[in-house]
């Protein structure tokens, strides 16, 4: 029997039209979208289904939207096929905001609480750095040591006292030589220029609204620490493999700490996938918008099976396979 991990996408997987066909086909999906709309006092579902894209990509909208789509898929699996996560999953994991989706799927958060937390998280991350001051870049074909060397050269320690060094750090280790760096715009732009002579195949700035997962996000981490004090999770029914530790977590206090640290820390996705494989996982099922994580899994763990579930036909195929 396959050992399944259920994985949940992060920012960059959103697209106008996400969830629309699912809502049209299944009442259980519509209920999730309506609950999120009501919780946020916002027609987020209309924005997901119809756009405009420039509003959907705002991080305060993207984060709860991706969670809503993922949990709508899960509710359809439960209502239409009698699916039970506790019986089918060895672990859950998510990429950045997807960690909240994973925890909601595992009953650690309610959907409403996850929506509120992600709306707040998106707003806090956007406010942490003034527009235009931060940036992120993808280094394709890079190893971690190369990325660290590039960051050090892009923002050397100044001779001033005290030294006020620009921030640039590895933000995502996505595996298969895909590393994302994040920090002050000047330093990130210098990193893109430096990368080719360090042997990196391609380096490019990413179209993001803030420099996520670096020290510049400290104000957002403070906001989330306060929010999680009043909306603490329950113990998940399935262990979470956490972005920060690349290890299983089930204790609510530890999960809160990891979620706060995650705002400024690197997403260790490559290590998370390898950890899940070491736990016996040989099948990864991505619930929600896009196929980004499944593609990364195939590069990191080529012997593992992958599947995605976002549209009605994919959901029905998953039900048959499970």
Element (H, E) at 320: helix 312-321
Exactly one of 45, 213, 283, 294 is catalytic; which is it? 213
Phi-psi bin for 238: left (phi > 0), alpha (psi -120 to 50), beta?
A: beta
Nearest Cα neighbor of 61 from 16, 118, 144 is: 118
For residue 9, report the phi and psi dihedrals to the nearest 5 degrees.
-70, 160
For residue 272, report the phi and psi dihedrals to the nearest 5 degrees.
-65, -45
User: Which tokens sit at 164?
Assistant: 């006020």
Distance CA 45, CA 22 (A): 12
Cβ atoms within 10 Å of 121's Cβ, excluding its own: 25
- Supply the DSSP string of 237-279, one letter for each residue: SS-EE-TTTSSEE--HHHHHHHHHHHTTS-B-HHHHHHHHHHT
| Contact assessment for residue 292 and residue 253, using Cβ atoms and an 8 Å cutoff | no
Distance CA 182, CA 187 (A): 9
Q: Is 95 helix (H, G, I), strand (E, B) or coil?
A: coil
The gap from C-alpha 71 to its chain's centroid, in whole angstroms, comes to 14
Phi-psi bin for 283: left (phi > 0), alpha (psi -120 to 50), beta?
A: beta
Exactly one of 45, 70, 96, 209 is catalytic; which is it? 96
Concerning whether 213 is annotated as a catalytic residue, the answer is: yes
Concerning whether 96 is annotated as a catalytic residue, the answer is: yes
Q: Which residues are catalytic?
A: 96, 213
């Amino acid at each position: 029997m396959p050992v399944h991990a259920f994985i949940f996408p992060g920012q960059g997987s959103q697209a106008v039209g996400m969830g629309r066909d699912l809502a049209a086909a299944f009442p259980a999906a519509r209920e999730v979208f309506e609950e999120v709309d009501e919780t946020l006092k916002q027609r987020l579902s209309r924005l997901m289904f119809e756009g405009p894209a420039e509003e959907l990509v705002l991080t305060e909208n993207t984060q709860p939207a991706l969670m809503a789509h993922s949990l709508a898929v899960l509710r359809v699996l439960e209502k239409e096929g009698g699916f039970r996560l506790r019986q089918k999953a060895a672990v859950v994991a998510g990429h950045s905001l997807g960690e909240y989706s994973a925890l909601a799927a595992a009953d650690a958060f309610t959907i409403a609480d996850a929506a509120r937390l992600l709306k707040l998280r998106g707003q806090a991350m956007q406010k942490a750095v003034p527009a235009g001051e931060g940036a992120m870049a993808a280094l394709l074909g890079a190893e971690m040591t190369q990325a660290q060397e590039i960051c050090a050269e892009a923002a050397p320690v100044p001779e001033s006292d005290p030294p006020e060094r620009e921030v640039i750090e590895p933000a995502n280790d996505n595996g298969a030589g895909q590393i994302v760096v994040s920090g002050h715009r000047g330093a990130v732009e210098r990193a893109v220029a430096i990368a080719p002579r360090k042997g990196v195949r391609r380096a490019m700035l990413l179209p993001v609204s803030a420099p996520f997962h670096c020290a510049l996000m400290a104000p957002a981490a403070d906001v989330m620490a306060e929010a999680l004090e009043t909306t603490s999770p329950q113990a998940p029914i399935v262990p979470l493999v956490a972005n920060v530790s690349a290890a299983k977590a089930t204790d609510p206090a530890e999960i809160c700490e990891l979620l706060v640290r995650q705002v400024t820390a690197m997403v260790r996705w490559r290590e998370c996938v390898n950890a899940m494989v070491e736990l016996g996982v040989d099948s990864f099922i991505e619930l929600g918008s896009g196929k980004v994580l499944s593609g990364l899994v195939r590069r990191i763990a080529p012997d593992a099976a992958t599947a995605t579930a976002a549209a009605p036909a994919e959901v029905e195929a998953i039900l048959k396979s499970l």
